[in-house]
Amino acid sequence: MKRALFLIAVLILLQEAASAKDLFVQSAKAKIMGEPNFKAQVINTVNRGDKLEQVEEKDGWFKVKAGAATGWINHLAVADSPPMDKVTVITADASDLQEKARKRSSAITSAAAARGLSDAERKRMNEIGQADYRSMAYLEEMSSKISDREVQDFEAGK
Amino acid sequence: MIKKILFTAALALLLTIPAASENMTRIRTHHLGQSINTEDIKAEISFGKEVGARILGKYPLYKNDALTRYANLVAKTLAQYSNRPELGFTVGVLDTDMINGFSAPGGYIFITRGAIEAMDDESELAAVIGHEMIHVCQRHIVKELNIHGTSDSPVAGFSHMIGGAGEAVNLTFVRAVDEATNILFERGYKKQDETEADTLGTLLAANAGYDPTALVRYFTKIKAGQEKEIASIKKLHPSFDERIQWIGQSIEKDGLGGIGYKIGKERFNGVLARKG
């Protein structure tokens, strides 16, 4: 009898562990709403990295406990692991990129040959295989020059 | 008798545990991120650079510093509200009259000059960038390519490809880039991915404070435009009417209508040197 009660207690604990789930806020800030829609009352505001306990899921919304408050957060704002820091891949200078393009181009020819494509298809493959790494480097430079502060000022209409 | 009841209760509890675990797995797969490390993200970005360079090989870059910076600021504003804070997002404008937008894994977004010229304000630009950003955030191309490495994650498949050596690995990589460009220029995304990009893109833009009806306004305008300018977007996407309908339903479901949002006409006109 005691053993059976112990077993039930253990199983209840296991079940709790299986259904409780942590969510982490990914967006810079997000609203916790009273109902699963944005017209409802705002219960609380959470920030990137905040941990929430999921209670329920409904139609793209999660019911969560955020501190003392319970409310709904849209699934777009959360994930099941903490947010990652920004990841960057250092882009080689334009001459390296052109060299990379040359190597890729020869691989494309091999790939086409390996698949036994016709001359016309190879021509098409080469056409779609054309790449512009210099312009990619220009865009990445333009993007990387923008600071977080500038984005916040832009959002605020400054 | 009591023992029998307790045994039945224990058995019932035992049976519910796998069901709860299964439910968690389903939610993780369909709605949330997977366990991915920094190297996987670097691989996704490196792959996206290759696809982006191909896009720029097909359509030349419209090299306008002011417009490029402006489009990147709009994208970075939206990115603050996305579920991919690890991505920097880079936007380029393509020099073609055609109205369309493209995106590559890792955060590369391209909007055509024709698409921007057909816009009336910043909220429409945010809506189109938001649509492309969701293709990236939800990893639509990555999932479509179905590359798997040592784990179940398709993103880890990129790490496997890029980290490997030899011609076979290189060919696999090139084929994956070919396949991605084929999705972008020939085949189009799955209909459910386009639905998600339209509805979540609208939600993303609204979270950043932009008018959620902007994409509907934009589609209503361009669907009546010149056939040669919209032929590509029509070929690669579901009909405008269908898209307008599901965006409307999504706005209604998430309660996005009737809340004060910004349009950003003045700033948009200023960058495009238009008279208000």
- Show pLDDT as tens, one digit a residue, over chain B (276 residues): 666 666 565 555 555 444 443 333 333 333 444 567 888 898 899 899 989 999 999 999 999 999 999 999 999 999 999 999 999 999 999 999 999 999 999 999 999 999 999 999 999 999 999 999 999 999 999 998 876 555 556 666 776 676 665 666 667 788 888 899 999 999 999 999 999 999 999 999 999 999 999 999 999 999 988 887 888 888 889 899 999 999 999 999 999 987 779 999 999 999 998 765
| A26 reaches B (C-beta below 8 A) | yes
Residue A106 lies in a domain: yes
What does the alpha-carbon distance between residue B170 and residue B68 come to, in Å, rounded to a whole number?
32
Say what the pLDDT of residue A25 is.
Answer: 96
| A129 reaches B (C-beta below 8 A) | yes
Residue A102 lies in a domain: yes
Residue A86 lies in a domain: no
In chain B, which residue's Cα lies nearest the Cα of A54?
B24
Count A/B contacts: CB-CB distance under 8 Å: 217
Say what the pLDDT of residue B5 is.
Answer: 64
Whether A127 shows a pLDDT value over 60: the answer reads no
CB < 8 Å to B52, chain A: 136, 139
Mean pLDDT confidence for A54-59: 94
Tell which residue, B62, B63, B58, has the closest CA to residue B104. Answer: B58
CB < 8 Å to B95, chain A: none
The better pLDDT of the pair A106, A35 is held by A35
What does the alpha-carbon distance between residue B276 and residue B267 come to, in Å, rounded to a whole number?
10
Residue A69 lies in a domain: yes
Domain ranges of chain B: 36-271
Phi, psi angle pair for B15, to nearest 5°: -70, -25
Q: Per-residue pLDDT tens for A81-100? A: 999 999 988 665 444 555 55
Phi, psi angle pair for B113, to nearest 5°: -60, -40
**Beta-bridge mates of residue B75:** none
Say what the pLDDT of residue B129 is.
Answer: 98
Say what the pLDDT of residue B7 is.
Answer: 59
Say what the pLDDT of residue B102 is.
Answer: 97
Q: Per-residue pLDDT tens for A98-121? A: 555 555 555 554 444 444 334 554
Domain limit, last residue, from A79, A105, A122: A79
Give the one of B27, B32, B82 whose C-beta lies nearest to A27's C-beta: B82
Tell which residue, B193, B205, B187, B194, has the closest CA to residue B254. Answer: B205
Give the one of B33, B38, B185 whose C-beta lies nearest to A81's C-beta: B33
Neighbours of B79 (CB within 10 A): 26
Domain encompassing residue A42: 19-79
In three-state secondary structure terms, B213 is coil
Say what the pLDDT of residue B52 is.
Answer: 94
Q: With 0-12 CB in 10 A as exposed, 13-18 as middle and 19+ as buried, what is B202?
A: buried
Say what the pLDDT of residue A125 is.
Answer: 42
Q: With 0-12 CB in 10 A as exposed, 13-18 as middle and 19+ as buried, what is B127?
A: buried
Residue A141 lies in a domain: yes
Same-domain status, A55 and A99: no
CB-based contact B36:B156 (threshold 8 Å): yes
In chain A, which residue's Cα lies nearest the Cα of B41?
A87
- Best mutation target among B31, B40, B158, B199 (most A Cβ atoms within 10 Å) is B31
Same-domain status, A101 and A73: no
Going B139 to A147 to A79 to A62, the CA torsion angle's sign is: negative
- Best mutation target among A35, A89, A149, A153 (most B Cβ atoms within 10 Å) is A89
CB < 8 Å to B185, chain A: 128
Same-domain status, A100 and A48: no
Same-domain status, A75 and A117: no
Say what the pLDDT of residue B25 is.
Answer: 31
Tell me how many domains chain A contains: 2
Same-domain status, A75 and A98: no
Side by side, the strands of the sheet bearing A78-79 are A42-47, A29-33, A69-74, A61-66, A51-58, A21-25, A78-79
B45 and A150 within 8 Å at the Cβ level: the answer is no
Same-domain status, A148 and A103: yes
* CA-based nearest distance B183→chain A, Å: 12
Say what the pLDDT of residue A105 is.
Answer: 56
In chain A, % of residues over pLDDT 70: 62
Say what the pLDDT of residue A58 is.
Answer: 93
DSSP type of residue B187: I
Under 8 Å CB-to-CB from B85, ≥6 apart: which residues?
A26, A27, A28, A48, A83, A84, A86, B79
CB-based contact B74:B129 (threshold 8 Å): yes
Output the domain CATH number for residue A47: 2.30.30.40
Neighbours of B228 (CB within 10 A): 11
A146 and B203 within 8 Å at the Cβ level: the answer is no
CB-based contact A119:A83 (threshold 8 Å): no
Residue A9 lies in a domain: no
Phi, psi angle pair for B158, to nearest 5°: -65, -45
Domain limit, last residue, from A50, A79, A108: A79
Which one-letter amino acid corresponds to residue B157? G
Tell which residue, B95, B111, B139, B128, has the closest CA to residue B205. Answer: B128
Going B217 to A154 to B89 to B253, the CA torsion angle's sign is: negative
**For every residue of A49-118, which 3-state class applies, written as one string?**
CCEEEEEEEECCEEEEEECCEEEEEEHHHEECCCCCCCCCCCCCCHHHHHHHHHHHHHHHHHHHHHCCCC
| A140 reaches B (C-beta below 8 A) | yes
Quote the tokens at residue A46.
């959470």
Neighbours of A106 (CB within 10 A): 11
| A114 reaches B (C-beta below 8 A) | yes
B207 and A136 within 8 Å at the Cβ level: the answer is no
In three-state secondary structure terms, A31 is strand
Same-domain status, A73 and A111: no
